[in-house]
Structure 1
Amino acid sequence: MTDYVSTTPGLFPLPDWAKDDLSDLKGHQKHDLISGDEGEEITAAYEQARADVLEVQREADLDRVVEGQLRWDDMLAHPLAVHDAVETRGIVRYYDNNNFYREPVVTGDLEFDGDVAAELETVSELIDDDDDLQAVLPGPYSLFDLATDEHYGDDEEFLAAVGDFLAGELEAFPDHETLFLLEPSLVTDSPAEGLDELASEAIDTVAAATDADVVVQSYWGALEEKVHAHLLDADIDAVGYDFVSNQEDNLYNINEYGTADDISLGLVDGQNTLVEDPEAVRDRTDWVFDQLPVAEFDTVYLTTNTETFYLPYNKFEEKLAVLAEAASLAEVTPA
């Protein structure tokens, strides 16, 4: 029997109160932030905001809960932006939207840091069952794509180093049931010939560092055929497909090349404020499976197609509830 799991790719919007409070606090503590010391007040505000988004996920009855990545001002570039061997320089547009991040320039060896593990540990201490915990990391190719290398010397070595770095960070994580590796760059800046295979190898390196189920979530379109085929060579449990942005090409990839034993369906729009109906999401799930010659999966993850950072907080809350109810409907009337 298929298990339907409601979850998200993380990267949540800040609660409304936290946006105002943190903006004021950061304005007064710019020097501390540049030096890497957030200060007690900022740390306390993030702790409260983290508790708030955890409560929202619990109230929505999501099957997997995430830390929320509320401190990730640099979005997916965050694990490098806070690293001692990285200099943050100019402001860069984050993919093709109105968000920006500080360019992380790698100037030394990417040794263990532990920042993301510490974040996840705080959530692990707040929940009763680690089986509900989902970790979130940028995929190695996307982190490689967002960064600039001034140390390793060539793309192949740099990509491998990023994969090794993420694997080392992951090994320090508390017990977690699922890992979402977010890989939008596999779609938006598809790896060139040769690098596509190395991207899959880097993903495999990261996946090998955890006993959790690993989902590689791509979004903002569909993977190129060769990239999709190489991705399936990695030892992962599921590929995530953005069925909001591109239905036809994602279906083609699955039908032409197959997919993993599990699948993640991005069926709720993570950027649009229109709130979907749970029954409509359930119908979309049926529609996807109706297009596949074989639609038998051990686990089906129902999620937003992108991170939800872009949403107003009240819409974000509503979309979590939609995902949870849609998964419950799918369990009652399986495809």
Structure 2
Amino acid sequence: MTEFVATTPGVFPLPDWAKDRLGSLKGHQKEDLVDGSEGTDVTDVYEEARATVADWQATAGLDRTVEGQLRWDDMLAHPLCVHDGVETRGIVRYYDNNNFYREPVVTGELAFDGDLADDLDALAALETDTPLQAVVPGPYSLADLATDEFYEDDAEFRDAITNFLAGEVRAFPDVETVFLLEPSLVVNPPEDGADERASDAIDRVAEATDADVVVQTYWGALEEKVHAHLLDANVDAVGYDFVTNHEDNLYNINEYGTTEDIALGLADGQNTLVEEPETIAERAAWVDEQTPSADFETMYMTTNTELFYLPVSRCVEKLEALAAGAARANEEVDA
């Protein structure tokens, strides 16, 4: 019997009141928020905002609670942008949209940092009623978003990124689930040989935790070889963007198989139109019906992308729709 789990890929929009308070701090600069040198006034705002987004998720009825990644002004590049061995330089377009991040240029050794674990520790201290979920950039995407001026060898650089992320994940408190976000596998797919190495890197990061690991891909469908190699990684679930490209994702699943659990991007993380819970439940049922050879133990029902693109009100409504959609799907299974 399939269990439907409502969750998100995280990276939420910062609450409006938090933006206002941060903007009013004397001498405040945007880069101060993300380079690890925040003052007490700034960290207090983030602590309050973290509790706020945890409450959003609890009130909506989600089955996992993410930290919200509210400090991630540089989106998935954040873990490098706050690292001592990295310089942040010019503004770079974040994939093919109107969002931008500071280019992280690796100029020194990528030693352990602990920034991600610190945020998760703060979330754990809130003692939420639902299991915790960590959100981490996947090793292929993080390397794709960065520039190397230290290792000077592509394979060595990607290996260093992988080791860095594995060390960060190893320091996490107890979490139920880890979402590795890997949009670059779709947007800038690895070539022959590199696709196998990307899978190996994901496998190594996944080995750093006992939690269930979900590799969430989005903005389209994986190329066939990339998908096949990804299935070689020892992960619990692969995520598919059924908002952007349901046909090719369905083909990959039926042609090459997939993991025993699966994550489905069923609500649009970039569009302010809020899906009805019935629509979300129907989309999950449709995927289940269209994959007759699969017998999924868990279906994670999520937005297809991070949520920072949305206004706060729409973000909250998406959370409510996901939770209600998963509840409806579970009721239909139990009926």
Task: Place the TM-score, normalised by the shorter chain, in its bin.
Answer: over 0.9
User: What CA distance in whole angstroms lies between the structure 2 residues aligned with 1:3 and 1:207?
Assistant: 22
Deviation for aligned residue 1:24: 2.9
**Cα 1:150–1:127, aligned 2, differ >3 Å: closer, same or farther?**
same
User: What CA distance in whole angstroms lies between the structure 2 residues aligned with 1:250 and 1:266?
Assistant: 11
User: What CA distance in whole angstroms lies between the structure 1 residues aligned with 2:321 and 2:36?
Assistant: 38
Q: Which residue of 2 aligns with 1:57?
A: 57
Q: Which residue of 2 aligns with 1:12?
A: 12
**Cα 1:68–1:35, aligned 2, differ >3 Å: closer, same or farther?**
closer
CA contact under 8 A between 2:214 and 2:238: conserved in structure 1? yes
Deviation for aligned residue 1:287: 1.3
Q: Which residue of 2 aligns with 1:263?
A: 262
Normalising by structure 1, what TM-score? 0.97
Q: How does 1:304-323 map to 2 (within 5 A)?
A: 304-323=303-322
Deviation for aligned residue 1:26: 7.4
Deviation for aligned residue 1:58: 0.5
CA contact under 8 A between 2:65 and 2:128: conserved in structure 1? no
Q: Secondary structure at the match of 1:9?
A: coil
Q: How does 1:236-275 map to 2 (within 5 A)?
A: 236-275=235-274
1:8-34 residue CA offsets vs partner (Å, 9 max, x unmatched): 000000111112222333753568569
User: What CA distance in whole angstroms lies between the structure 2 residues aligned with 1:182 and 1:42?
Assistant: 27
Q: What one-letter code is carried by the residue in structure 2 that aligns with 1:6? A: A
Q: Secondary structure at the match of 1:173?
A: coil
Q: Which residue of 2 aligns with 1:232?
A: 231
Q: What one-letter code is carried by the residue in structure 1 that aligns with 2:126? A: L
User: What CA distance in whole angstroms lies between the structure 2 residues aligned with 1:224 and 1:159?
Assistant: 21
User: What CA distance in whole angstroms lies between the structure 1 residues aligned with 2:187 and 2:34?
Assistant: 30
Percent identity, please: 68
Structure 2 residue 91 is matched with structure 1 residue 112 = no
User: What CA distance in whole angstroms lies between the structure 2 residues aligned with 1:301 and 1:23?
Assistant: 36
Deviation for aligned residue 1:176: 0.2
Deviation for aligned residue 1:290: 1.9
User: What CA distance in whole angstroms lies between the structure 1 residues aligned with 2:197 and 2:218?
Assistant: 20
Deviation for aligned residue 1:128: 4.4
**Cα 1:237–1:247, aligned 2, differ >3 Å: closer, same or farther?**
same
User: What CA distance in whole angstroms lies between the structure 2 residues aligned with 1:35 and 1:85?
Assistant: 12
Paired residues, what number? 334
User: What CA distance in whole angstroms lies between the structure 1 residues aligned with 2:249 and 2:30?
Assistant: 44
Greater displacement, 101-110 / 36-45: 36-45
Structure 2 residue 296 is matched with structure 1 residue 297 = yes
Q: What one-letter code is carried by the residue in structure 2 that aligns with 1:270? A: G
User: What CA distance in whole angstroms lies between the structure 2 residues aligned with 1:143 and 1:27?
Assistant: 31
CA contact under 8 A between 2:141 and 2:185: conserved in structure 1? yes
Q: Which residue of 2 aligns with 1:93?
A: 93
1:300-334 residue CA offsets vs partner (Å, 9 max, x unmatched): 00000000100010010011011111111111112
Greater displacement, 292-301 / 79-88: 292-301
Q: Secondary structure at the match of 2:89?
A: strand
Q: What one-letter code is carried by the residue in structure 2 that aligns with 1:158? A: F
Deviation for aligned residue 1:243: 0.3
Q: Which residue of 1 aligns with 2:181?
A: 182
Q: Secondary structure at the match of 1:98?
A: coil
Q: Secondary structure at the match of 1:161?
A: helix
Q: Which residue of 1 aligns with 2:214?
A: 215
Q: What one-letter code is carried by the residue in structure 1 that aligns with 2:251? A: Y
User: What CA distance in whole angstroms lies between the structure 2 residues aligned with 1:35 and 1:333?
Assistant: 47
RMSD (CA atoms): 1.5
Q: Secondary structure at the match of 1:285?
A: helix
Q: What one-letter code is carried by the residue in structure 1 that aligns with 2:267? A: V
Structure 2 residue 122 is matched with structure 1 residue 155 = no
